[in-house]
Chain A
Amino acid sequence: MTTVPAFDLNNLDTSKLSDVLEAVAHFEAQGTTFDQELAVSILRNYSCESAASFVKLHCYASGLQPAISLGAYDTMHQELLAYQPTAMPDLIVLTLMLQTFDPGYGMPGWRCDETQVRLQNLYEIAESHTTSLLAVNTFLPPLYPATGTRLPPDGADATSQVLALNQWIRQYVREHPARFVLLDWERYARILGAAALDQRSWYAFKMPFRPGFFNLMGADIAAIGRALKGKAKKCLVLDCDNTLWEGVVGEEGLHGIKLDPYEYPGVVYYQFQRTILHLIEQGVMVALCSKNNPEDVWEVFSSHPHCLLKRELLVGWRLNWQDKTTNLRELAEELNIGLEHMIFVDDNPVECAGMRQMLPSVTVVQVPAHLHRLPDLLFAQGWFTTLAISEEDRQRTAYYHAETQRQSAQAAFINRDEFLASLEIALDIRPLATADVARVAQLTQRTNQFNLTTRRYSEEEVHAFLDRNDIAVFTLRVADRFGDYGLTGTLIARREGDGSVIDSLLLSCRILGREIEGRFVNTCLQQLTAWDVSFFYADYLPTAKNAQVRTFWETQGFRKIEETPERIRYQLPAADAAGR
C-alpha cells in the first residue's frame, strides 16, 4: 500500500476521479476517522461503483464515517425485501436509470403511465419493508427527442412523458416528507451539461455518468446525512464590507458602497443578500461579525434603498475591532450553539485563514475571486440542508431576537431569581400528539448538548411510539413574556419490568439556564407514576457534546448505581418521585 501524501480537502477538485479515489484511500488507510457513522445502501440498476467513492469523500468532508454498501445490479426489489429490522441503514439510495427500469422507454409511442405504476409499487415496497430514509432520483429526458422541435398534440413525445414522470416523482416525495428525499438528476444535468453523461460507457459498460455527476450526487447524499445526524449548519456569520456590499462603508459612506441590483457588481451583493433572506426563511440564524462602526452598518441596514437585510432579522452581532475568533466564540455562547454549526463568510483572506487555524470546527467561506459565484455559493454546498422543515425552524429567528431582549433584561436585575421570576416562564407539558411527531423526531436528530442519551429517532420511529402502551413520550412547550419558544423538549420513557427507564431526555439549548429542566422532569415523573412502577432508571451516555449534563440525574435526586465509560446508570425509587 502506497503512503498517500497529506492533502487539503478544501482545495480538492471533488469532480476529479483520481483525486477522489486518492483522498478516500487516504482516509481508509487511517481506519475509523470519525465517531459518527452514516450507513448508506445504494440500490441501483446501472453501473455506479465509483459513486460510492464520491459519497465516501463527501461524508469524510462532513465529519461522518461512511459505511456504504452497494446492491447488485438491478436487484432493488430483492434487496429491499431482505432488510432485517436490526440492520437498517440510515439512508437507502434507490437510484434508477429509466432505460433499465422500463425497457420500453425509447420506443415510438412510449408513455409513462405504466412506468409510474411500477415505480410507485417499488417505492411502496421500500417504504413498508424498511425504516430508512429513502432517496430517489428524477430521470433525464432524451438529449435529441425523436420528434425534434415538434410537440405531438397527444403529448406522446418522450421529453413530455419523462417530465410528467418527474413531476409525479417530485409530488410523491413532497407527500412523504418523513421518508423520501429527492436526488434531482435533472438539476445535476443542468449544472454539468454535456459533462454529465457518457453515452460511450453507458452502451459499453452500463455506466451512464461522468465523475462530475457522481460528485453532485455524492454531495447531496452527504448533505442528507448531515441533516440526519444533527450536523446541518444552524448559523451564518457575516462580515459586512465587501461581503454584503462592495466597498468600505466607513470610508465611502452610505451612497458610496455598491449594492444596486441594476449594476455590476452591486447586483451580485444584492443577490447574495437575497440568498441570505431565503436561509432566514428556512430557519437559519444570521449574525454579523465585522470590523466596523456599528452606526455605519445600521445606517446601511435602515437607510440604503437596496439593502435587503434588516437588523430585526439578525440573531446577534459583533461590530467591533476585536479579534474575530473571539467574537465568534462569544456569539456561539450567546446563541448556545456549537462552533461546528456555524459558517463564517468574509472577503479578507487573512481573517479566513485565521479562523480556519484558530477555530477549525467553524466552516469558513471566503468571498470568491470569481465574484459571480457568491450568490449561489451557500446553496450549492447544501450546508443548511434539513429534512422536513418544521414551523419552529421558521420562527427561530423570532425566538433568538427575543433572546437578546431577554439578556438585556437580565442585566437590569441583580438577583437571578428575581430575573427568572420576571420572565414569567410558562411550561406546557403534554403526552405526544400526532401533530408533534415531526418536531420531536427533528429534536432527537439535532440536539447534541442537553441530550442525556443522544438517541436519534426518525419520524417513522417516533410515530410508532404513539401506539405503544409501554412507551410514553412527553413534549415540552415553553413561553415567557418575551415570546414563544415552541416545542423545545421531549422525554421518552419505557416500561421495563418493575421499572420505568428514561430512554431519552433532551432540551433545545434555547431554553437552558432557566431552571426549566428540573420542572419538566418532575412533571413527567409524576405522570409516569401512573405505571405503578417501583423504580425510575435513567442513563447518561457520554458523547463529545453532552458533558454539560454529566451530573444532571444526580442534581435531580437520582442515585448512581452503575458506571462504565460508555454509560452511567441512575436509579430513583418511584415513591421519592411521587413525594416531590
Chain B
Amino acid sequence: MEERIKRIMSAVLRIDDDAIGPDTRAENTASWDSLGQMNLAVALEQEFDIEIPVDDIMALKSYSVVVACVQRLLGYANSFHMRSV
C-alpha cells in the first residue's frame, strides 16, 4: 500500500518516489501547496476508492499522516463491510 501511496504522491507532487519517506512533509516540499494537497486527496480517493473527510484533507501535510489516513479509511471500510455481511 505504501508503494501505491508513493506512486500517487510522485505523480501528483512531481517528486521522485525514492525520495518519499517519513521526512517528506508539505513544509519541505515546494509542490505540496494547498492545490497539491487537494489534488493528492482526490488522487488517493480514486486510487483506493475511499472518501477522505474534509478535516482529514486539511491535515494531509506529511507522508506519515497520508499513510495513517489511508490505512484508517481502508480499515474502516473493511470492518464496515464485514459487519454488514
Binding site for B on A (CB under 8 A): 1-2, 16-19, 21-22, 25, 47, 49-50, 200-201, 203-205, 207, 210-211
Contacts and interface: CB of A to CB of B under 8 A. Distances in A.
Given A2-B16, A200-B54, A19 B42 contact: no
10 contacts: A17-B43, A18-B46, A19-B11, A21-B11, A22-B10, A22-B11, A25-B11, A49-B35, A50-B39, A200-B54
A201 B35 CA distance: 12
A144 to B, nearest CB: 19
Given A18-B43, A18-B46, A205 B11 contact: no
Interface string B1-19: 0000001101110111100
Given A200-B54, A204-B54, A21 B38 contact: no
Nearest to B20: A2
B68 to A, nearest CB: 20
Nearest to B9: A18
A17 B39 contact: yes
Given A201-B38, A211-B42, 18 more contacts: A1-B16, A2-B16, A2-B17, A16-B46, A17-B39, A17-B42, A17-B43, A17-B46, A18-B43, A18-B46, A21-B14, A21-B43, A22-B11, A25-B11, A49-B38, A50-B39, A201-B42, A201-B57
Of listed A17, A19, A25, A50, residue having the most chain B CB within 10 A: A17
Contacts, number: 54
The 9 A-B residue pairs whose C-beta atoms are closest, nearest first, are A22-B11, A18-B43, A2-B16, A18-B11, A204-B54, A17-B43, A18-B8, A49-B35, A17-B42
A17 B15 contact: no
Contacts of A18: 7-8, 11-12, 43, 46-47
A2 B39 contact: no
Contact of A2 (B14, B51, B54): B14
Contacts of A21: 11-12, 14, 39, 43
B39 to A, nearest CB: 6
Contacts of A25: 11, 14
A420 B7 CA distance: 65
Contacts of B10: 2, 22
A152 to B, nearest CB: 34
Given A2-B10, A18-B8, A18-B47, A50 B16 contact: no
Nearest to A15: B46
Contacts of B8: 18
A1 B58 CA distance: 26
A210 B51 CA distance: 12
A534 B21 CA distance: 74
A533 B5 CA distance: 71
B57 A17 contact: no
